[in-house]
């Protein structure tokens, strides 16, 4: 059993915080930015996800996001997402996700903080207008009522996280008994500091990722497997309590 080494400690857990990244969504067919699937029409996706790329060619970036939305809307939560949602039956669960796809909510999770925004939300580049995307835009790039360009309400490389969301994430990280870091390489700041906050509270740290990450040596348990294969097994420990 992959959790045997910390089975006794897990029994006393009251609050779990999950920190999730692109790896868990990749198992639902959503490509990651990094790696061989991170290219779109010969463009580097990591270079498209910047404010400079948007202002250089907003039409191109909107086409990319329209295509991403279609891919995301057709995707379904996998066994990893479902397991996290099911854990709410047994323990307090909060998800701090770097993903913008809403798959945790689709799976039924009720406490989800989207650190990097959401693919279904838009905002004006100038005024305070924000809304949800209800349909594809016929005009690209779409314009706000004030006449300025709308943009996806997501955090691009080089931009700050929404401070209200980030401060709430830190509070949850400081309060948890167990933090599970699933499907993230922990290279993107500041989300990669969340395990440090949890460790300050003497929380258990479990990493679920097929490859080593920047913080693997700091973990109480590092499981080299996918979220879909691993997280359903975590539920069994709480069913036994």
Residue 127 among known ligand-binding residues: yes
Longest dimension (CA), the chain: 59
Residue 183 among known ligand-binding residues: yes
Residue 144 among known ligand-binding residues: yes
Residue with tokens 């009522």: 145
Residue 99 among known ligand-binding residues: yes
Q: Are 100 and 118 in contact (CB under 8 A)?
A: yes
Tokens at 179, concatenated: 């933090």
> CB within 8 A of 49, min separation 6: which ones?
33, 154, 156, 157
Residue 176 among known ligand-binding residues: no
Residue 100 among known ligand-binding residues: yes
- In DSSP terms, which residues pair with 37 in a beta bridge? none
Residue 146 among known ligand-binding residues: yes
Cα distances (Å, whole numbers) of residue 25 to 79, 140, 202, 217 = 11, 27, 29, 24
Residue 98 among known ligand-binding residues: yes
- In DSSP terms, which residues pair with 221 in a beta bridge? 206
Residue 185 among known ligand-binding residues: yes
DSSP 224: -
What are the residue ranges of helices labelled H in 35-117? Answer: 45-48, 51-56, 58-73, 79-86, 103-107
Residue 168 among known ligand-binding residues: no
User: Is 116 one of the catalytic residues?
Assistant: yes
From 81, 104, 116, 172, active-site residue: 116
Residue 236 among known ligand-binding residues: no
List residues forming the annotated binding site for substrate: 65, 68
Residues noted as catalytic: 116
The annotation places the binding site for Zn(2+) at 124, 127, 144, 146
Residue ranges for the binding site? 65, 68, 98-101, 124, 127, 144, 146, 183-185, 209-211, 227
């Amino acid at each position: 059993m992959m959790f045997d080494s910390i089975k006794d400690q897990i029994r006393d857990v009251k609050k779990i915080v999950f920190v999730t990244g692109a790896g868990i969504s990749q198992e639902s067919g959503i490509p990651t930015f990094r790696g061989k699937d991170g290219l779109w029409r010969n463009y580097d996706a990591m270079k498209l996800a910047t404010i400079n790329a948007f202002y250089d060619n907003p039409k191109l970036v909107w086409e990319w996001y329209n295509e991403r939305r279609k891919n995301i809307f057709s995707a379904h939560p996998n066994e990893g997402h479902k397991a996290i949602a099911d854990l709410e039956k047994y323990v307090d669960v909060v998800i701090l996700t770097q993903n913008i796809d809403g798959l945790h909510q689709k799976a039924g999770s009720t406490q989800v903080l989207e650190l990097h925004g959401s693919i279904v939300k838009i905002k004006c580049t100038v005024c305070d207008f924000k809304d949800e995307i209800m349909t594809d835009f016929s005009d690209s790039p779409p314009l706000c009522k004030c006449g300025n360009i709308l943009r996806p309400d997501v955090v691009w490389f080089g931009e700050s996280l929404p401070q209200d969301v980030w401060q709430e994430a830190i509070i949850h990280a400081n309060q948890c008994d167990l933090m599970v870091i699933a499907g993230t390489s922990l290279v993107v700041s500041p989300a990669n500091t969340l395990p440090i906050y949890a460790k300050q509270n003497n929380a258990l740290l479990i990493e679920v990722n097929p490859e080593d990450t920047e913080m693997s040596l700091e973990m109480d348990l590092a499981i080299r497997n996918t979220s879909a294969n691993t997280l359903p097994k975590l539920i069994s420990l709480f069913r036994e309590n």
